[in-house]
Amino acid sequence: MRRRTRLVEVALVLLAVLLLLLLLPTGGCRKGSGAQDDGQSEGQDGLPLVSLACVVSKPPASMRMWERERARIFVSRSGEVIVGTGAVVFSASIEPQPDEEWVKENVKVEGPGQVEISCSEGRLRCSFPEGPPGETMTLTITGVDLPHSDEDALVLSMKRVAEPTVVLEVNVDGEWRQVSTSDCLGDPPLRLRARFSKDMDRDSVETILEGLGTDITWTDDRTAEFTLPSGPPSLVRVNLWDAQDTSGLKVLATIWRLYTGDPPQLYAFDPETGEETSLCRLPADVYAAAVSPDGRTVLHIHYHERSWEKRALLVRVNDGTSRALDAAYGYHPAWLGGQHLLRLHRGERPDLSYQVITTEEVVVHEGALPWGLNFRAVSPDGKHLSGLVIEHPADVRMSGDGWFAAGHLVIVNLETGEHRLFSDFVSKYEEVGTCLLEGLAEGPFWSPDGRKLAAVSDLGPERGCTLLVLDVASGTVDAEVPIASQQNWAGSWSPDGLYWTVGSLLLETAPPHSIADLGMACGRKPEWSPDAKWFAINTQHDGWGETVVFRVDPASGPVKEKSLGTVFPCGWDAAGRFYFIRWPAFEFRFEPSVGTTGYD
């Protein structure tokens, strides 16, 4: 009897629970309460529920490739938020998923510029274009339930203010001097200061500076000083991009890679006496450099703002003063005919053009170039430009463990703009898994009279290389010199016309083309003295390798005269002096890669 009574009691309890669930209203439940209706969450009175609302303030377009956002602000109710001058994105989750008509009826924006509004998979997104300080945008979403508010609408006002900027300075002999990325500061300890354009959140600034130095002091809400401690030459990476002002916006354009210790120094070497002469200091992060024939000026090309972009300077050798060339162009690292420069402009494909200019940037000649023209070389008289267009890797010819890529030779008359094309003139063999252009320091090289052009064709590990010599006037190959071993494309023609260099080999231009091994790698085009008595070889493609000066002895062949150590070559002047850059801290230099950004 007791057991039967117990079962009846349990059944009555279950029936009561079931009746209670049936009588409960379906409305009045917020997201997260556990109540659901056909799998969709609703707010009070059945209104769509808005949650997880966020405003992202992005940087201006000029910085966007490096920084994805400058402030992320979470909002849960109506009010005003401060944003920067870049693009602004508002996003929020809305449940259940509203249709297009609901969005048109209930989502309104006010303010300048074209605003993009979209809603998919339960997420509303409103994208505002960048705008100036003082601009205000208003976003209104009606007919919704806010999780933390009794309002049935969200009215969000976004006010633009200028992001903070910063200047970094170093104290030299009691005077503050502004520094730029790649500057050499001298020997530590060093006193630096960061001067901001707005009142800053001190904790965010000090968190960064504590990782750099000691003795952090504030002279006011916008200026913080700190000390770089003593130590050996090093790279100092000052990154203030996470510093915030009092409104929460982060600083714009704020990274420096600075060097302590001695700066890069230009030297001249006289091989006849063996003497080295120190001349002037130069910027760090050099990409290419070429001394003028009179020895008075160096064309200095360096990486800009830690990126693939490059900038060019003309540096006076006697005092180190410099003048920047137009940054809209790239510059060929050589002097044309001893007095002019060649600059290139790359627009939208296939727009590639050139200008021959004076040192005062007066245009002498200009014209178009074929897209993809690389490994360029200028004829000795400065009137012609040669280069190679490499066939796209998708079209390469596979062979064994590697592939062959075709190099199409192009010769451009810089005075008239006329092009001549020699298809499949050379080939390049690369093993699978290596970069197709890796190690290709130079392309074709000219004879001293400009009548012939030589280039190395790589036929693979089994067949070695062939040196092809083109007669420019007739367009025919009048010499093919087989070389048993593989060599890179770094070659040269001596000013007296008697020798070629191909990789690590020295060859006589006259048959039977006797070959001498130089006994060292050649990473880039060798530099010949004007009288052809001397040439310098550098072991690295980027220029920062061991540089050795050889003497040409007609009786015994090349003689290794002197190693200058790890230096960067800059060429010879007309007087027979070899110029180079020596920098003790070169190991900290910037080297861009495929993943390089402005914050590497």
* 79 token code pair: 């009010």
How far apart, in whole angstroms, are the C-alpha atoms of residue 160 and residue 147?
27
CA-nearest of 148, 147, 94 to 121 is 94
φ/ψ of 541, rounded to 5, equals -65, -40
Name the band, by pLDDT with cuts 50, 70 and 90, for residue 404.
confident
Residues counted in the chain: 600
Give the range among 5-19, 43-57, 236-250, 310-324 with minimum mean pLDDT: 5-19
Give the range among 166-170, 188-192, 200-204, 464-468 with minimum mean pLDDT: 464-468
Amino acid at 536: A
* Domains by residue range for the chain, with CATH: 44-160 (2.60.40), 166-260 (2.60.40)
Query: Dihedral through CA 144, CA 149, CA 153, CA 155, nearest 10?
Result: -140
- Of all residues in the chain, the percent with pLDDT exceeding 90 is 50
* Number of neighbours of residue 308 by Cβ within 10 angstroms: 12
Give the range among 121-135, 181-195, 381-395, 542-556 with minimum mean pLDDT: 381-395
**What are the CA-CA distances from residue 50 to residues 97, 126, 148 (Å)?**
11, 14, 10
CB-based contact 269:568 (threshold 8 Å): no
How far apart, in whole angstroms, are the C-alpha atoms of residue 505 and residue 491?
9
Span 313-364, pLDDT tens digits: 999 999 999 999 998 888 999 999 888 999 998 766 677 899 999 999 999 9
Q: Is 363 helix (H, G, I), strand (E, B) or coil?
A: strand
How far apart, in whole angstroms, are the C-alpha atoms of residue 6 and residue 231?
85
Q: Print the SS3 string covering 452-499.
A: EEEEEEECCCCCCEEEEEEECCCCEEEEEEEECCCCCCCEEECCCCCE
CA-nearest of 395, 541, 116 to 408 is 395
pTM over 0.85: no
CA-nearest of 70, 57, 55 to 253 is 70
* 26 token code pair: 């379906």
